[in-house]
Amino acid sequence: MVLDLFKLDGKVAVVTGANTGLGQGMCVALASAGAKVVGVARRDCSETKQLVEEAGGEFLEVIADLSDIKPIDDILNASLKAFGRVDILVNNAGLIKRDDAIDYTVEEWDSVVSVNQKTVFFMCQAFAKQYMKQGTGGKIINVASMLSYQGGIRVPAYTASKSAVLGMTRAMANEWAKYNINVNAIAPGYMVTNNTAAIRDDEDRNAAILDRIPAGRWGTKEDMAGAVVWLASDASNYVHGFTVAVDGGWLAR
């Protein structure tokens, strides 16, 4: 039965940025498909824990600030201690800082690139090593953006880092596909979360964005469910290095 390919029973998924937004939505989706979930965040994840448990799942919270790569070993060790293995990594934590390129500061640049790019790469490396050690293969799902394809407005470091996510995803897939490690990405379109609060509050930007989305609405965290479960499951075993847009048709325009 083809739907069995999408089941995640017995799998362990680690999701960063699990306390809110798209990360929270993906934790619930992975748990609904059967995975045990480790939620990584720099603040309390009790809301996500409750939603995961309501979906019939198990949830472990790991508090970590991903502006530095130091917590990576602790995240992996806590996951292994609780559940004995890891199978799925979702690099979702990310931030955006808005400023004109002409005024952009080194501090703004470093804060965005460290979380969105550097930590993502070293999380992937640590999990790939663990998948090789386990001999199981595994799944890595990075969260890209429309700005992996486009320049964006007043977010140069975000654009740089999300373009890097698309490229790194391909580069790592090329190297690790032979170990049955699938590295792919999801590029969300314009979604209702804290990340987009500022542009949704700006009446003109909000109207311009909505007008350009063929689906005629902003995306929601629930819209991420199908893509993340597919890329986390055996249904995507021959999919490597691809970035799937979940964008209401934005890139098709």
Using the rule CB under 6 A, give the single segment among 54-62, 102-110, 183-191, 229-237 that binds ligand NAP. 183-191
- SS3 category, 191: strand
Number of residues that bind ligand NAP (CB under 6 A): 26
Angle at which helices 119-134 and 72-83 cross, to 10°: 40
DSSP per residue, 156-189: HHHHHHHHHHHHHHHHHHHHHGGGTEEEEEEEE-
Say how far apart CA 94 and CA 29 lie, in whole Å. 19
Task: Verify binding: residue 176, ligand NAP, rule CB under 6 A.
Answer: no
Q: Residue 22: which residues within 8 A CB-CB, separation 6 or more?
A: 92, 143, 188, 191, 193, 221, 224
Helix/strand number for the chain, H first, E second = 9, 7
Tell me which of 62, 141, 143, 164 binds ligand NAP, using CB under 6 A: 143
Which of 131, 149, 158, 190 is catalytic? The answer is 158
Q: Which is nearer to ligand NAP, 161 or 182 (CB)?
A: 161
Select the residue interacting with ligand NAP from 7, 58, 67, 177 (CB under 6 A): 67
Measured in residues, the chain has a length of 253
**Residue whose CB is less far from ligand NAP, 65 or 99:** 65
In this structure, the dihedral spanned by the alpha carbons of residues 185, 186, 187 and 189, taken in order and rounded to 10 degrees, is -170
- State the binding string over 79-98 for ligand NAP (x if CB under 6 A, else -): -------------xxxx---
131 catalytic, yes or no? no
> Minimal distance in Å, beta carbon 133 to ligand NAP?
25
Please report, as residue ranges, which positions from 20 to 39 form the binding site for ligand NAP (by CB under 6 A): 20-23
The site for ligand NAP (CB under 6 A) is made up of 17, 19-23, 41-43, 65-67, 92-95, 115, 143, 145, 188, 190-191, 193-196
